[in-house]
Amino acid sequence: MSASPRPAGSETPQAGSLLGQRDPRDTWSKKADFLLSVVGFAVDLGNIWRFPYICYQNGGGAFLIPYMLMAVFGGVPLFYMELALGQFHRVGAIPIWKYICPIFKGIGFSICVINLYVAFYYNTIIAWALFYFCSSFARTLPWASCSNPWNTPSCLSYFEAGNVSWTNLSKSPAEEFYMRHVLQVQNSHGLSDVGEIRWQLLLCLFLIFTTVYFSLWKGIKTSGKVVWVTATLPYVVLLILLIRGATLPGAWRGIVFYLQPDWQKLRSVWVDAAAQVFFSLGPGFGVLLALASYNPFNNNYAIVTSLVNCFTSFLSGFVIFTVLGYMAEMRHMDVAEVAKGPSLLFITYPEALANMTGSSFFAILFFLMMVTLGLDSTFGGLEAVITALMDEYPQALGKHRQLFVLGLIALCFLGSLATLTNVWALSDGWTPWTSFLGMQQFCSDVRAMLGFGPGLYWQVCWRVVSPATLAVSLLDQPPLVLFDYEYPAWSIRLGHLIGASSFLCIPTYMVYKLVWTPGSLKQVRERGSPPLHWAGEGGFPVHPLTLTPPPPPPPPPPPPPSPCLLCTAGLGGLGRGSVRWRPLLCRRCHPRRGWLFPRRAPRPAGRRPDSCFSPGVPKRAARKPRLCWAGPPRWLPARPAVSPKGAPDEPQEKSRPPNNASG
Q: How far apart are CA 489 and CA 502, in angstroms?
A: 21
Q: Decide if pLDDT at 573 tops 70.
A: no
Mean pLDDT of 74-101: 84
Q: What is the pLDDT of residue 181?
A: 86
pLDDT at 357: 83
Q: Which of 210, 217, 215, 214 is nearest to 401 (CA)?
A: 217
pLDDT, average across residues 53-80: 81
Contact of 416 with 124, CB cutoff 8 Å: yes
Find the helix packing angle between 359-392 and 106-135, rounded to 10°. Answer: 160
Classify residue 563: in a domain, yes or no.
Answer: no
Query: Which pLDDT band, with edges at 50, 70 and 90, does 652 fall under?
Result: very low
Least confident of 83-97, 194-208, 565-579, 582-596: 582-596
Q: Please give the annotated binding residues, written as ranges.
A: 40, 42-43, 47, 280, 309, 373, 376-377
Where b means 16+ CB within 10 Å and e means fewer, 448-463 reads bbbbebbeeebbebbe
Give the DSSP H or E segment for 204.
helix 199-216
Q: Establish if 580 belongs to a structural domain.
A: no
* Calpha distance 486→39 (Å, rounded): 36
pLDDT (0 to 100) of residue 526: 65
Tell me the C-alpha distance between 93 and 107, whole Å. Answer: 8
Higher pLDDT among residues 113 and 647, named by residue: 113
- Distance (Å, rounded) from C-alpha 158 to C-alpha 208? 34
Tell me: pLDDT of 609 over 50.
Answer: no
pTM of the model: 0.69
Give the model's confidence band at 136: pLDDT under 50 very low, under 70 low, under 90 confident, else very high.
very high
Average pLDDT over residues 602-623: 46
Please tell me what DSSP assigns to residue 221: H
Q: How does DSSP assign 393-415, residue by residue?
A: SHHHHGGGHHHHHHHHHHHHHHH
* Residue 166 pLDDT level (bands cut at 50, 70, 90): low
Helix (H) or strand (E) holding 130: helix 106-135
Residue 351 resides in a domain: yes
pLDDT over threshold 80, residue 76: yes
Please indicate whether residue 141 or residue 641 has the higher confidence score (pLDDT): 141
13/554: higher pLDDT? 554
Give the number of domains in the chain: 1
Q: Which domain holds residue 375?
A: 31-516
Does some domain include residue 630?
no
Which residue did the predictor score with more confidence, 498 or 133?
133
Per-residue pLDDT tens digits for 330-365: 777 777 777 655 567 888 888 888 888 888 999 999
pLDDT at 660: 46
| Tens-digit pLDDT profile for residues 140-151 | 898 888 888 888
**In 10 A of CB 549, how many CB atoms?**
15
411-449 pLDDT per residue, tens: 999 988 887 765 554 333 333 333 344 455 556 556 655
Across the chain, mean pLDDT equals 72
pLDDT at 547: 40
* Binding-site positions for Na(+): 40, 42-43, 47, 280, 309, 373, 376-377
Cα separation, 454 vs 23, in Å, equals 30
Q: Which residues contact 11 (CB under 8 A, 6 or more apart)?
A: 538
Q: Assess if residue 219 is contained within a domain.
A: yes
Q: What percent of the chain has pLDDT over 70?
A: 60
Structural domain includes residue 638: no
Q: Which residue has the higher pLDDT, 116 or 20?
A: 116
Percent of the chain with pLDDT over 90: 12
Distance CA 460, CA 440 (A): 12
The gap from C-alpha 407 to its chain's centroid, in whole angstroms, comes to 21
CB atoms within 10 A of CB 490: 9
SS3 per-residue string spanning 299-323? CCCHHHHHHHHHHHHHHHHHHHHHH
d(C-alpha 496, C-alpha 501), whole Å: 9
Residue 106: give its domain's CATH number: 1.20.1740
Residue 533 lies in a domain: no
Choose between 629 and 157: higher pLDDT.
157
Q: Does residue 427 belong to any structural domain of this protein?
A: yes
Q: Which residue has the higher pLDDT, 547 or 49?
A: 49
Which alpha helices (H) appear in 451-539, and where do they start and end?
456-460, 466-472, 489-501, 505-516, 521-528
Q: What is the pLDDT of residues 371-399, one digit of tens each?
A: 999 999 899 899 999 999 998 898 888 78
Residue 389 has a pLDDT of 92
